[in-house]
Amino acid sequence: MDEIGTNKNYIIILLGRRHVKAGFSKKMEPFVILQTSELFSKCVDVLEISENDNTNFSKESDYVTVFKDPINWKRSWSSLIRMLYTDYLMSNPKDYPVILLERPFFPIELSNYIKQILLENYQVPGVKKISEPIVSLFTTGFKTGIVVDIGTNETIVCPIYDGYPIEYNVKIINCGYDDFKKKFMNELFSQYKEKPEEDIIKEISNDLMDDIIFQSGIVNHEFNNNIESNPNITDFTYENLIVKDKYINLVVDKNTRTKPFEIFFGDKAFPNSEVIHHIVLDGIIQVLLNSNIETRKELSQNILICGGLASVPGFERRVSSELGELISNEKILKPLADHFFVTCPPISPFIRSYYGTALMLQHEKINYNFENTNLQRISSKINSKLEIA
């Protein structure tokens, strides 16, 4: 067993449903970012099995992961790891221990399989799995706080105390980037309905649509029923867009730029629209309410937002603004109104967990041990052999 120290270089591999990020620990940003959403959806189904009438929040035990084809998904992910080493990292696996980062709720069979092939096929010196929220919080300089991680299909609210996640109090909210993107596209298509550019807009690729979202998206930082009255938000022009060999200057109007983000805040700024999901802020409130009185204040003083969408201008400010109002209106939490703080370290939310891992490995000696033996059987709530009639 080798202890993590500060004198070695490690390979960091961040496993996600939308991206896999990888690189070396002595660099503060990933060397390569690969899209894996299509690969993930081809291999895995995540099904809700809970019969609980309270659908506001979920736990990991409310879901089951079903692997569609054991042979194909293993072959696909094995190929991905091989591509990481041969095409991008271009390093000898035997020279570098590996840190595997994974979000809560990531299928344990999949991460264990990746761990297995790293140890047995590539003979890396050791592998250690670490939960993303822990290292994300490291970027704030504190070991206690709440990490809100906006993922592809869900948002996870994870309280951490003194470097350890409070697992019983983790909340999973059924709202993520895919839901936001669907709403953004609907707004954009409505904006161009029956206009000459309509057919061109519908031909925009997924990758290009992602770029349009992050270039044009902006969050109205305060509750405001009329976006037109906000002089700080104007229409956005995406210039020289090429679709099917045609050029277009795509104009994204104020409503399309801002309205889709309201799914994270309950759509309450648009009373005529359907509330698609439960709001993220309620997850933070529930975590605080479920925490004991000794830890509640410490948790509230360090709230960190992660995930690509959190990098959109105004997102963190809006969370802080509305959270203050919600805390003030909650009798038990009202004493926290003057103490809570949404932390915004100067690191892109998209890579905060990776950055935090590199920072941890460079500056601290952590009492984690690498596994460098054959994997043991780990019992899991998620049964990949479950058959659904």
Higher pLDDT, 40 or 118: 118
Same fold, 11-132+350-363 and 140-175+277-343: yes
We find that the CATH architecture of domain 140-175+277-343 is 2-Layer Sandwich (3.30)
Share of the chain above pLDDT 90, in %: 35
pLDDT for the residue numbered 65: 58
Alpha carbon 198 to its chain's center: 32
User: What are the extents of the domains in the chain?
Assistant: 11-132+350-363, 140-175+277-343, 177-265
**Gap between the Cα atoms of 349 and 149, Å rounded:** 9
Q: Are 97 and 124 in contact (CB under 8 A)?
A: yes
The b/e string for 133-157 (b: 16+ C-beta within 10 A; e otherwise) is: bbbbbbbbebebbbbbbbbbbbbbb
* Strand positions, DSSP E, the chain: 11-15, 19-24, 32-35, 44-48, 63-67, 98-102, 127-131, 145-150, 155-161, 164-165, 171-173, 236-243, 246-252, 303-306, 342-343
pLDDT tens digits, 225-284 = 566 667 778 899 988 887 777 778 889 998 899 888 888 887 544 445 444 334 788 889
The stretch 167-196 carries a mean pLDDT of 88
Q: What is the pLDDT of residue 277?
A: 37
Reported CATH class of domain 11-132+350-363:
alpha beta
Note the pTM of the prediction, 2 decimals: 0.81
Integer CA distances (angstroms), 381 to 34, 60, 113, 371, in order: 29, 8, 16, 22
Give residue-wise pLDDT tens across range 124-150: 999 999 999 999 999 999 999 999 998
Query: How far, in Å, CA of 263 to CA of 269, rounded?
Result: 10
Distance, CA of 264 to CA of 319 (rounded, Å)? 9
